[in-house]
Amino acid sequence: MSSAPIIAVRRLGKSVTDATGTLDILHDIDFDVAPGEALAIVGASGSGKSTLLSLIAGLDTPTTGTVVLDGVDLFALDEDARAALRARRVGFVFQSFQLLGNLTALENVMLPLELAGRRDAREAARRMLERVGLGERLGHYPRVLSGGEQQRVALARAFVVEPAVLLADEPTGSLDHATGERVMELMFDLNREHGTTLVLVTHDPAIAARCQRRIAIEAGRARELPRGA
Q: Is residue 170 situated within a structural domain? A: yes
Helix, strand, or coil (residue 43): coil
What pTM value is reported for the model?
A: 0.88
Query: Tens of pLDDT along the chain (229 residues)?
Result: 447 899 999 999 999 998 888 989 999 999 999 999 999 999 988 889 999 999 999 999 999 999 999 999 999 999 999 999 998 899 888 888 889 999 999 999 999 999 888 999 999 999 999 999 999 999 999 999 999 999 999 999 998 988 999 999 988 888 888 888 888 888 898 888 888 999 999 988 888 999 999 999 998 999 999 876 5
CATH no. for residue 169? 3.40.50.300
Confidence at residue 197, expressed as pLDDT on a 0 to 100 scale:
95
Confidence at residue 1, expressed as pLDDT on a 0 to 100 scale:
44
Q: Is residue 12 situated within a structural domain? A: no
Confidence at residue 144, expressed as pLDDT on a 0 to 100 scale:
97
Please answer whether residues 200 and 39 qualify as being in contact, where contact means their C-beta atoms are separated by less than 8 angstroms: yes
Q: Is residue 187 situated within a structural domain? A: yes
Please answer whether residues 15 and 25 qualify as being in contact, where contact means their C-beta atoms are separated by less than 8 angstroms: yes
Q: Is residue 194 situated within a structural domain? A: yes
Q: Is residue 146 situated within a structural domain? A: yes
Structurally, the chain folds into a number of domains equal to: 1
Q: Is residue 15 situated within a structural domain? A: no
Q: Is residue 157 situated within a structural domain? A: yes
The beta-strand segments (E) located in 49-138 are: 64-69, 72-73, 90-94
Phi, psi values for residue 166, rounded to 5° = -115, 125
Q: Is residue 17 situated within a structural domain? A: no
Domain that includes residue 42, residue range: 35-58+82-225
Best CA proximity match to 167, nearest among 89, 107, 110: 89
